[in-house]
Amino acid sequence: MKNKSIYRFWGLVKPHWIKLVAAGACTAGIAACTSAVAYLIKPAMDRVFLAKDVYMLKLLTIGVLFLYATKGLLTWANVYLMSLVNQKVIFDLRKRLFRRFLFLPLSFYDRAKTGSLISYITSDVNQVGTSISRATVSLFRDTFTIMGLVWVIFQREWRLATVSVIVLPFAFLPMIKFGRKLRHISYKRQKSLGDLSSIIQEGLTGARIIRAFGTEEYEKRRFARENERFFRYQLRGVKIDTMMAPLMEFFAGIGIVLIMWYGGYKVINGTSSPGTFFSFITALIMLYEPVKRLSKVNNTIQNGLASLERIEAIEREKTELDQYTAVTDIVTFSERIEFKNVSFTYNGTPALTNVNMTIEKGKVVGIVGKSGSGKTTIVSLLLKFYDFSSGEILIDGIDIRNASVRSVRGLISLVSQDPFLFDDTIRNNIAYAKPSAMDQEIIAAARAACAYDFIMNLPEGFDTRVGEEGVLLSGGERQRICIARAFLKDAPILILDEATSSLDSASEAQLKKAMENLMAGRTTIVIAHRFSSLEHAQKIFVLSCGKVVEEGTLEELLARGGEFRYLHDLQVCGIHS
pLDDT in tens, 553-577: 888 888 888 888 888 888 766 554 4
Q: How far apart are CA 370 and CA 373, in angstroms?
A: 5
Compute the average pLDDT of residues 308-318: 82
Residue 411 has pLDDT above 50, yes or no: yes
Q: How far apart are CA 453 and CA 232, in angstroms?
A: 57
Q: How far apart are CA 356 and CA 342, in angstroms?
A: 7
524 vs 41 pLDDT, higher one: 524
Q: How far apart are CA 227 and CA 186, in angstroms?
A: 15
Share of the chain above pLDDT 90, in %: 13
Q: How far apart are CA 131 and CA 302, in angstroms?
A: 8
Please report which confidence band the pLDDT of residue 294 belongs to, taking 50, 70 and 90 as the band edges: confident
Residue 394 has pLDDT above 90, yes or no: yes
Q: For residue range 69-104, what is the model confidence (pLDDT) as tens digits?
A: 888 898 888 888 888 888 888 888 888 888 888 888
133 vs 209 pLDDT, higher one: 133
Query: Which alpha helices (DSSP H) does 414-471 contain, by range?
Result: 426-430, 439-448, 452-456
Q: What's the confidence (pLDDT) of residue 191?
A: 77
Sign of the C-alpha dihedral computed for residues 505, 511, 516 and 522 taken in this order:
negative
Class of domain 2-12+90-142+155-322: mainly alpha
Q: For residue range 437-474, what is the model confidence (pLDDT) as tens digits?
A: 899 999 999 988 888 889 999 989 999 998 887 888 88
Q: What's the confidence (pLDDT) of residue 293?
A: 73
Q: What's the confidence (pLDDT) of residue 319?
A: 76
Model-wide pTM > 0.75: no
Residues in contact with 9: Cβ distance below 8 Å, sequence separation at least 6, in sequence order: 132, 301, 304, 305, 308
> Nearest 5°: CA angle at 187, between 183 and 192?
145
Q: What's the confidence (pLDDT) of residue 392?
A: 93
Q: For residue range 239-274, what is the model confidence (pLDDT) as tens digits?
A: 776 666 666 666 666 666 666 676 666 666 766 666
Compute the average pLDDT of residues 201-226: 73
Residue 176 has pLDDT above 80, yes or no: no
Q: What is the mean pLDDT of the chain?
A: 79
Residue 85 main-chain phi, psi, to 5 deg: -60, -45
Q: What's the confidence (pLDDT) of residue 539?
A: 93
Residue 180 has pLDDT above 80, yes or no: no
DSSP string, 246-276: HHHHHHHHHHHHHHHHHHHHHHHTTSS-HHH
Residue 345 has pLDDT above 80, yes or no: yes
